């Protein structure tokens, strides 16, 4: 999952802790803004005599061990002080009622694997249902899914425009099937289906070609922390 924009942190090198710097607050401050001001002020007051520096997170990946909507999710991301100075931040709550504690250590997030996938089971079920009440031969369903894998097999994950992230799996982003790949799939379907079936298949493909359809691509990325 990628976050855009730049977020500043004030970091204490002595304690290996950091805290988000204040962004926009309401004027006058509302309750949420007042809490942010108080938390930031408390961190600075506690560490003011230590070795404090500014660190920045730009466009960077965020690793999470749970869906990001889960308040107990532990998240990991990369920050920099400029130049070749990089750190890996881990942030998690000790309990549901406490704010996240941000810790950092020298290191970088390295991409270890990136795959372009598709939801085979849902795709297979959707095509089968589009032929109801007629039945589509299982062999044709399996061949169709196999062809889908063949046409997406040459796609490069980093070249796919991401539409949104999977709410349940923080390592997966969703992308629309590129037009050229879609047209290749349409052409390959003539190898699988009878002429009387191609009209139904074409309607199914057209209805599901976008990022919210059954042909949506799942871009899965895995990272490791390199020290």
SS (H, E, C) 82-147: ECCEEEEEEEECCCCCCCCEEEEEECEEEEEEEEEECCHHHHHHHHHHHCCCCCCCHHHHHHHHHH
How many other CB atoms are there within 10 angstroms of residue 73's CB atom?
17
Whether residues 140 and 89 fall in one domain: no
Domain containing 130: what range?
A: 113-226
> In the structure, what pLDDT confidence band is assigned to residue 2 with cuts at 50, 70 and 90?
very low
**Region of poorest pLDDT, from 10-19, 41-50, 164-173, 199-208:** 164-173
**Region of poorest pLDDT, from 33-37, 143-147, 172-176:** 33-37
Whether residues 62 and 139 fall in one domain: no
Do residues 60 and 2 make contact, with C-beta atoms less than 8 angstroms apart?
Answer: yes
Whether residues 22 and 68 fall in one domain: yes
How many other CB atoms are there within 10 angstroms of residue 94's CB atom?
10
Whether residues 120 and 218 fall in one domain: yes
Residue/partner pairs of 187-195 with CB below 8 Å, 24 or more apart = 188/147, 188/150, 188/151, 189/144, 189/147, 191/147, 192/140, 192/143, 192/144, 192/147, 193/140, 193/144
Predicted TM-score (pTM) of the model is 0.78
Whether residues 30 and 53 fall in one domain: yes
- What local confidence, expressed as pLDDT, does residue 175 receive? 97
Q: What is the tens place of the pLDDT at every residue in 15-59?
A: 999 999 865 555 566 676 778 888 899 999 999 999 999 999 977
DSSP 172: E
Total domain count, the chain: 2
Which SS3 state, helix, strand or coil, does residue 213 take? coil
- What local confidence, expressed as pLDDT, does residue 1 receive? 52
Whether residues 96 and 21 fall in one domain: yes
Whether residues 128 and 163 fall in one domain: yes
- What local confidence, expressed as pLDDT, does residue 87 receive? 96
Residue length of the chain: 227
Whether residues 217 and 125 fall in one domain: yes
Structure tokens at 5: 């924009």
Whether residues 141 and 63 fall in one domain: no
> In the structure, what pLDDT confidence band is assigned to residue 4 with cuts at 50, 70 and 90?
very low
Q: How far apart are CA 203 and CA 207, in angstroms?
A: 6
Whether residues 98 and 138 fall in one domain: no
Q: How far apart are CA 13 and CA 94, in angstroms?
A: 22
- What local confidence, expressed as pLDDT, does residue 23 receive? 59
Q: What is the tens place of the pLDDT at every residue in 50-106?
A: 999 999 997 778 899 999 899 999 999 999 998 889 999 999 999 999 999 999 999
Whether residues 97 and 151 fall in one domain: no
pLDDT of 226 > 70? The answer is: yes
């Amino acid at each position: 999952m990628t976050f855009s924009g730049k977020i500043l942190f004030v970091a204490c090198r002595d304690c290996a802790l950091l805290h988000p710097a204040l962004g926009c607050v309401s004027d006058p401050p509302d309750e949420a803004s007042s809490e942010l001001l108080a938390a930031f002020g408390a961190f600075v007051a506690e560490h003011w005599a230590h070795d404090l520096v500014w660190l920045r997170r730009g466009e960077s990946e965020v690793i999470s061990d749970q869906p990001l909507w889960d308040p107990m999710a532990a998240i990991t991301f990369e920050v920099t002080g400029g130049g070749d100075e990089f750190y890996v931040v881990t942030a998690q709550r000790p309990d549901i009622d406490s704010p996240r504690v941000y810790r950092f250590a020298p290191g970088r997030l390295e991409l270890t694997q990136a795959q372009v996938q598709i939801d085979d089971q849902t795709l297979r079920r959707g095509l089968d249902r589009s032929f109801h009440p007629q039945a589509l031969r299982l062999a044709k369903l399996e061949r169709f899914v196999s062809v889908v894998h063949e046409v997406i097999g040459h796609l490069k994950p980093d070249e796919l425009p991401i539409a949104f992230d999977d709410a349940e799996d923080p390592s997966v982003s969703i992308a629309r099937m590129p037009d050229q790949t879609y047209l290749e799939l349409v052409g390959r379907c003539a190898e699988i289906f009878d002429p009387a079936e191609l009209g139904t298949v074409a309607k199914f493909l057209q209805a599901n070609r976008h990022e919210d359809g059954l042909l949506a691509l799942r871009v899965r990325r895995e990272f490791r922390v390199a020290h």
